[in-house]
Amino acid sequence: MSGSDAVGAGSGAAGSGSGSGAAGQDGEGYAGLRIERARELARRHGWASVRVLEPGDLMTMEYRQGRLNLAVRNGVVERSWEG
């Protein structure tokens, strides 16, 4: 079972998530943030969906433009990437 948590396209922000390279806009830069803060920034930067993955969660390997993946341990993001 996947640990996905969709934000949804109707979150009030538009775009694919690809940005100017500022932390949070390019899929990287979320490491070290609490999950609540990471989700807030993801919505603000226009990510269409956010997938949260806890240790041991299974995930599909298909690439999805506009999706932010967050590998989380104990409520803190360890790694983030687009797709």
What are the mean pLDDT values of the chain's consecutive 10-residue runs (83 residues total)? 40 36 69 97 95 94 94 97 94
pLDDT of residue 52: 97
Q: Which domain holds residue 33?
A: 4-82
Q: Give the span between the Cα atoms of 47 and 59, in whole angstroms.
A: 19
Structurally, how many domains does the chain consist of?
1
| Residue 7: predicted pLDDT | 41
CATH number assigned to the domain comprising residue 34: 3.30.10.10
